[in-house]
Structures are given as structure tokens and as C-alpha cells.
Structure 1
Amino acid sequence: MMNLQALIILGTLAGLASMASATPGTATFYTSYVPSACYGNTQEGTMIAAASDPLWNGGAICGKMFNVTCTGPTNPVPHPCTGNSVVVKIVDHCPGCGGTLDLSKEAFTAIADPVAGIIKIEYNE
């Protein structure tokens, strides 16, 4: 019985630690996926994203995978979030894109109503 309680406590703490490690930001979306700054004219699927200047780091972020969750609206669109999360691959750079991540339209639509245009997110690698 004691081991079961210890496992439950450890599992709860691990879950809290992973939630605490999520980084807040904002996301927009785009629809033209090639060419990209990381992969040129090579298609990398549709669950992709472009990184804003603060994340870009000279392209070192290319190919990294991020779990992204909508946390709320940034404008008057009520309840834009679907309640889902999406995993995206960083394939491009979006200087001045207006958000932390510029998601493909497919990725954005998986987590939010595209009518919102820009949303609050949490993301982690």
C-alpha cells in the first residue's frame, strides 16, 4: 500500500513539473509552406510551424518538435480553443509574424478556431 501511495505522489509531481515547464506565448497561422528557411523546397508535412525572432537563434531551432496547446483568446473571439494539443515541427523563420509561433493552418485549426487569428498558447519541446 505504501508503494502505491508513493507512486501516485511521484506521478502527480511529474505531471505538475511538466505543466510548469510549458512556456506561454501567442500563435498565428500561415498557409504557404514552401520554401522554408530550414528545408528549402522540401515538404515537411502540415503539422509544422515557423519560429519568431526570439526563438530562431540563427536556425538552431530547425527540426525541433513542440507540443502546443491553446490557452485562450487574445481578441474578442470567445472560447477559440478546441481543448486539443498538437505537436509541430519547426521548419521556418517568421520575422515579425506577430506571435511566438506561426503555425500551419492545419495545426492551428487542430487547437483553435481559425477565426480567432491569434491565440494565447503554452508550448514545450
Structure 2
Amino acid sequence: MATERLTILAIVIASLVSVAYAVAGTATYYTVYLPSACYGYQDQGTMIAAANRDLYNNGAACGKNYRVKCTGPTNQGVPEPCQNGEITVKIVDLCPGCGTNQLDLSQHAFSTIADLNAGKIQIEYNPA
């Protein structure tokens, strides 16, 4: 009985920590994946992203994985763009035009969590 309570408590605490750590931001998408700032012409697949300057941190983010969840629209064009929950992407590039807390997802990654017609969405992301 005590073991069950401790297990449940650990799950609740882990859930709260991951929710509290999520960064609110926005995401757009891109379609040309090579070359990338981190890996040059080495293909890293399609579940990838380019990081804003702060997150990129002179390449320190290269290869790190982030969980990304669509939380809502940023424009009036697609009022409910979110679909399919959460994805994990690998940082492979710098997005020099991205704002604070913005990720530029590969088209495949973006389309997995949102309608491409939205173009830009609200997200939450945290390290995987």
C-alpha cells in the first residue's frame, strides 16, 4: 500500500515538473533542410527544428531533443489548427529570423501537430 502511494506521488510530481518547465512560444515551418548550421549536409531526418538565437546559443542546442505541443492559433485563418498531441524534434539549425521562444519546425513536424494552413501556431516546448 505504501509503495503504491509513493509511486502515485512520484507520477504526480513528475507531471507537475514537466508542465511547470514548458516554455510558451510560437512555431512556424520550413521546407529546405540541408544544409543545416549544426550538421551541414548530413541528413537528420524530418522530425527536426531550427532554434531561435537564444535557444541555439552558438550551437549548444545542436542535437538536443525537445517535446513540442500545439496549444492554439496565432491568426484568424485557422481557428483550431492543433491536432495529434505532442512531437519530439531534434535541433539541427539556427533560425536567424525567429523571435524569442520561437521554433521553426520542419514541414513534416509542423504538419504532425497542426494544420499547415495556419502557418504559425502557439506552442509549448521543453527538453525531451
What is the TM-score of this pair, normalised by structure 2?
0.91
Q: Which residue of 2 aligns with 1:81?
A: 82
Deviates more, 1:24-33 or 1:52-61: 52-61
Aligned pairs for 1:1-125 within 5 A: 1-76=1-76, 77-97=78-98, 100-125=102-127
Q: What secondary structure is seen at the aligned counterpart in 1 of 2:96? A: coil
Question: In angstroms, what is the RMSD of aligned CA positions?
Answer: 1.4
- Following TM superposition, where does structure 1 have runs of at least 4 consecutive aligned residues deviating by more than 6 angstroms? none
Counterpart-to-counterpart distance in 2, 1:7 and 1:97: 41
Counterpart-to-counterpart distance in 2, 1:62 and 1:7: 34
State the shift of 1:6 in Å.
Answer: 3.3
Instruction: List gaps (5 residues or longer) in structure 1.
Output: none
Percent pairwise identity = 57
Instruction: List gaps (5 residues or longer) in structure 2.
Output: none
Pairs aligned (count): 125
